[in-house]
Structure 1
Amino acid sequence: MNVLFFDCFSGAAGDMILGALLDLGASEEEIRGCLGGLEVGEWRLEVSEVDKGGFRATRARFSIPEHDLTRTYPEVVASVTEATLPDAVKASAVRSFTLLADAEATVHGTTRDQTHFHEVGSADAVLDVVAAFAALHFLRPERIVTSAVATGVGGLAQTSHGRIPIPAPAVAELLAAHHVPTFQRGSTELVTPTGAAILIAASDSFGSLPEIAFERVGYGAGHKDLEHPNVVRAILGEEGTKKGTEVTLIEANLDDMSPELVPYVIERLLETGALDAWVTPVVMKKGRPGLLLSVLAEEALASAAIDILFAETTTLGVRSSVVARQVLERDLTQVDVEGMPVRVKRGWRGGRVVTAAPEHDDARRAAQVSGLPLKEVNARALREAERRP
């Protein structure tokens, strides 16, 4: 599984996140193409390499002629939904601004639709959010994890509302409402509302670095020069299991639960870190049809998986056993089909490829753009992957 980890040891802002993703390899050209559909007036994206506390980092900065526009939540959402953007980018950007609007509404005692964005409604903030999700759309991580987020405490920041405490009330509300782990680093503002909203909307979870094999590392620079390197670090890597391991198999028989609830249970199990979860039809006592719900999890996560089974299903008991698991070494290789990038996941055993499969979302996108049948895109991608070392 391809995992993206945001290391926020110096907080996070929208431009820092964008810079880190560009440094990681997101296509500047593709991001500019996405932003071209936004009706936010004139803008210019300046991307440069800078030094932050001895770290080489990418600085991404939007330059616009006007900074004092105030937009309402409905106006910001309309500017995003009416733009020519990939659906996933639209949905994530709207979610970010919805999170921001709800936080501002709570702070100011108003409603979401009555919320007026000041700094976070300016064109550069809208561009930061959309550009960040366009970059993520290009990189296509399968899972995003964010570290505990550093924040200043005790200082004051100058805003359109005057001087406000750090972290800003909207930031504090966002972090609290979504249970984001934080720690203090000085009294300077380190987390912006835009940065917090992007991380919350994008992340599958917050916590420590998963066990991954590092593939690429990117650094996104903030505009302030601080005593420590003021950067967001983005780490892209492959999460896998050792070739031969012991894992826990957890099972529960269900004969009095609506099948409509099962997909949600499986979704929760996988979000918690289960290696796999599946359902098998069975015949139970007295000939009643039922379901056997099975979960495969590493030992450290077995207890969390069992908690979910008891909370989300009707079972009165589960059984577990330790089983051996063998997995192939895996890698990703990227090929071109009609000029479109398609990643192919390959499984290796004994020094040779024994199985390969194109990433479905990549192949689907190539099929939509090229007009080729999806099965033809898959076949071409596999042929190209066979030629790769």
Structure 2
Amino acid sequence: MTICVITPFTGLAGDMLLAALVDAGAPLERVRAAVATSGLTGWELHVESLLTHGLTAARAQVAVTDDATSRPAAELIAMAGRVRPAPVADRAVAALRAITEAEGRLHGEPPEHVHLHELGGHDTLVDVIGVCAALDALQVSTVYCGALPLGSGAVRTAHGLLPCPAPATAALLRGARTAGSDLTGETVTPTAAAVLTAVGARFEPPPEFRLLATGYGAGTRTLPDRPNVAVVHLGEPVDTGHRELTVLETNLDDVTGELLGHVVGELLAAGALDAWVTPATMKKGRPAHVLHVLAEPAHATRLGALVLAGTGSLGFREYPVRRTALVRETETVDVLGVPVRRKRGPHGAKPEHDDVVAAARELGLPARVVATIAAGR
């Protein structure tokens, strides 16, 4: 489990974040390979080193043979959906859908009719897929981001001059921590804001972690008095017994018990840390169930989609939780010549139920007797 802490020193753009992740150790060839699986052609991605105000940083540049910047959003989403590995595709699609939905709301269009202007070029797709692939290669499970500095003034778009931050960026940053800046112009791009949304970035102090690597990603703008960079720190959380996780919940009054059991199994197989069902009484006295899913924050979007598809629910609740887990170890004990695994923690030991049942069947004893022997009681 690796965490990524983003410090947007002068702001954040997709190419800055991608460059910083490569500078921190993400393999550039893995990034290029992921982008290539989208079917996008006519592009090259280069990451070069430069010195800016005494600081060595990386700069990501996308060279294209097709300089069109206007495309239907659905076209970019379809290409992102073909990306491999699948977790990279999930995050890239989520980022592009976030952009599409924000643009659609701003311009009064349904998402399927949105046409991206400045964001419709090759570089948007390369940056989005590239960042998601870099995070996947680095095995980042959780992203934390500092307050994003918002510039002032105006930005030129296909719709004319618009205030900074651009309306799409402002819509995507709803709920994020921001701060004023003495810089004018666009300091946070819609691409960066959408990626932060897609990876479930947390705008809160990170937990204690052991620093593994630091990367500096430079933007294209040159500032007179400071380096124009975003910084990423990669680290291993220090094991304090606490872990920041996400819970998804949805109320269901029209799903059978058999189907709920199947969905729980599918969620666990898809990477949920736990999934369970509790009975509930809804309005008008209707009996119902609440489906709960405990997940890593980085997997919440994907598992939420599985909840909706598997149950037919129209929505779910999502909130952060802190789990405290005591140190435990798995050991194997001998029960009358049959091995049985058990988990041992600070306050006792518990045998694995499947092993107990198998041993009981082999020994011809009641399972409760085998469990008592295996537990050492």
When residues 75 and 270 of structure 1 are mapped into structure 2, their CA distance, relative to the original with a 3 A threshold, is closer
Letter in 2 for 1:275: R
Matched-pair contact (CA < 8 Å) for 2:69–2:119: no
Kindly name which structure, 1 or 2, has the bigger radius of gyration based on alpha carbons: 2
Alignment correspondent of 1:66: 66
Q: Distance in 2 between matches of 1:266 and 1:13?
A: 28
Provide the residue aligned with 1:291 in structure 2.
none
Deviation at 1:152, TM superposition (A): 0.4
Q: Tell me, yes or no, if structure 1 residue 261 matches structure 2 residue 258.
A: no
> Aligned residue for 2:186?
189
Query: In structure 1, which of residues 201, 204, 208 is the aligned counterpart of residue 205 of structure 2?
Result: 208
Q: Give the Cα–Cα distance (whole angstroms) in 2 for the partners of residues 55 and 200 of structure 1.
A: 29
Q: What's the offset of the Cα at 1:189?
A: 1.1
Deviation, 1:11, is: 1.4
- For 1:70, give the aligned amino acid: S
Q: Is the 8 A contact 1:6 1:146 kept in 2?
A: yes
- Gap change, CA 1:148 and 1:68, over 3 Å in 2: same
Aligned to 1:96: 95
Correspondence for 1:130 = 129
CA 203–147 in structure 1, closer or farther in 2 if over 3 Å, else same: farther
Q: Describe the SS at the equivalent of 2:66.
A: coil
Aligned residue in 2 for 1:272: 320
Q: Which residue number in structure 2 is paired with residue 46 of structure 1?
A: 46
CA distance in 1, matches of 2:322, 2:35: 37
Distance 1:203 1:86 in 2: 19
Residue segments in structure 2 that go unaligned for 5+ positions in a row? 243-276, 282-287, 298-316, 330-377
Amino acid at match of 1:162: G
Which residue of structure 1 lines up, in the alignment, with residue 172 of structure 2?
Answer: 174
CA offset at residue 233 of structure 1? 0.7
TM-score (norm 1): 0.63
Tell me the SS of whatever aligns to 1:119. coil
> How far 1:162 sits from its partner (Å)?
2.1
Distance apart, 1:265 and its partner CA = 6.5
- TM-score scaled to structure 2, two decimals? 0.65
Could you tell me how far 1:203 is from its partner in structure 2? Answer: 3.0
Moved over 4 A (4+): 254-260, 265-271, 325-328
Cα separation, partners in 2 of 1:256 and 1:224, compared to 1, 3 Å: same
Identity %: 31
Alignment of 1:284-323 (within 5 A): none
Equivalent position amino acid for 1:11 in 2: G
Could you tell me how far 1:69 is from its partner in structure 2?
A: 3.8
Q: Does 1:142 align with 2:141?
A: yes
* Secondary structure at 1:189 match in 2: coil
CA distance in 1, matches of 2:47, 2:321: 36
How has the CA–CA distance of structure 1 residues 165 and 236 changed in structure 2, closer, same or farther, with 3 Å as cutoff? same
> 1-side partners of 2:327 and 2:294: how far apart?
25
161-170 or 46-55, larger mean C-alpha shift: 46-55
1:237 matched residue in structure 2: 235
* SS of equivalent residue, structure 1 residue 272: strand
Contact 2:4 2:142 in 1 (8 A): yes
Change (3 A) 1:275 1:162: same
Quote the offset at 1:205 in angstroms.
1.6
Q: Distance in 1 between matches of 2:58 and 2:294?
A: 41
Task: Determine helix, strand or coil for the equivalent of 1:205.
Answer: coil
Deviation of residue 212 (structure 1)? 1.4
> What is the match of residue 111 of structure 1?
110
How far apart in 1 are the matches of 2:292 and 2:166?
A: 39
SS of match in other structure, 2:173? helix
Relative to structure 1, the CA distance from residue 76 to residue 270 in structure 2 (aligned partners, 3 Å threshold; closer, same or farther) is: closer
**Counterpart amino acid of 2:155?**
A
2: CA distance, partners of 1:68 / 1:76: 13
Letter in 2 for 1:20: A
State whether structure 2 residue 144 is matched by structure 1 residue 156. Answer: no
Pairwise CA RMSD of aligned residues? 2.7
**In the alignment, structure 1 residue 19 sits paired with structure 2 residue 67:** no
CA distance in 1, matches of 2:2, 2:296: 18
Cα distance in 1, alignment partners of residues 92 and 118 from structure 2: 16
SS at match of 1:195: helix
- Partners of 1:326 and 1:147 in 2: how far apart? 31
Please give the secondary structure, in 1, of the residue aligned with 2:34.
Answer: helix
Give the Å deviation of 1:66: 2.8
C-alpha separation between the residues in 2 aligned to 1:55 and 1:260? 56
Tell me the distance in 2 between the aligned counterparts of 1:264 and 1:33: 33
Cα 1:89–1:256 shift into 2, 3 Å = closer
Give 3-state SS (helix, strand or coil) of 1:48's partner.
strand
1:359-370 paired onto structure 2 within 5 Å? none
Distance 1:129 1:157 in 2: 21
Tell whether the 8 Å contact from 2:2 to 2:138 is kept in structure 1 after alignment.
no
**What are the superposed Cα offsets for residues 237-279 of structure 1, whole Å, 9 maximum, x if unpaired?**
1112459x9xxxxxxxx98549953633787999635133xxx
Give the number of equivalent residue pairs.
Answer: 268
Query: Alignment partner for residue 225 of structure 1, among 215, 222, 226?
Result: 222
Query: Which residue of 1 is the match for residue 119 of structure 2?
Result: 120
